[in-house]
């Protein structure tokens, strides 16, 4: 089945370590997104990518980095510069054409800093 796969589902990190969250999609979507979810704050956009080898900062990009070397993959690295990384991270891609496509989400990755 087509969809978005995020891994790992749970991740623990020591302070000062970088970690990378994987996001793979087989929906043949051009646009991909990373969101951070904290209780009571909805979803906040970290980075987005419209096409391969291009990505843009979202609202809360500080302390994060991404790459888009393949259409199917959009990994997110949480660096040691991110001061409060404990959160639920959601990857999404956008289907449809023009402005009418909705977001398709992965199952999420929960990162906990020890």
Partner 1 sequence: AQSVTQPDIHITVSEGASLELRCNYSYGATPYLFWYVQSPGQGLQLLLKYFSGDTLVQGIKGFEAEFKRSQSSFNLRKPSVHWSDAAEYFCAVVTATDSWGKFQFGAGTQVVVTP
> How far from chain centre, in Å, is Cα 82?
15
| CB-nearer residue toward partner 1: 38 or 62 | 38
Name which position in 14, 41, 83, 114 contacts partner 1 (CB under 8 A): 41
Tell me which of 48, 64, 85, 87 binds partner 1, using CB under 8 A: 48
Contacts of 97 (CB under 8 A, 6+ apart): none
Applying CB under 8 A, among 40, 53, 97, 114 the residue interacting with partner 1 is 40
Rounded Cα–Cα distance for residues 5 and 91 (Å): 9
The answer to whether residue 4 forms part of the interface with partner 1 (CB under 8 A) is yes
Under the binding rule (CB under 8 A), the answer on residue 21 touching partner 1 is no
Q: How far is Cα 30 from Cα 54, in angstroms, rounded to an integer?
A: 11
């Amino acid at each position: 089945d087509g969809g978005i796969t995020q891994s790992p589902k749970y991740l623990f990190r020591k302070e000062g370590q970088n970690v990378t969250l994987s996001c793979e999609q087989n929906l043949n979507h051009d646009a991909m997104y990373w969101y951070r979810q904290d209780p009571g704050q909805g979803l906040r956009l970290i980075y987005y990518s419209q096409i391969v080898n291009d990505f843009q900062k979202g609202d809360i990009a500080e302390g994060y980095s991404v790459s888009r070397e393949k259409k199917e993959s959009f990994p997110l690295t949480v660096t040691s510069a991110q001061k409060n990384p404990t959160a639920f991270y959601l990857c999404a891609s956008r289907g449809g054409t023009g402005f009418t496509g909705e977001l398709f989400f992965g199952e999420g990755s929960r990162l906990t800093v020890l």
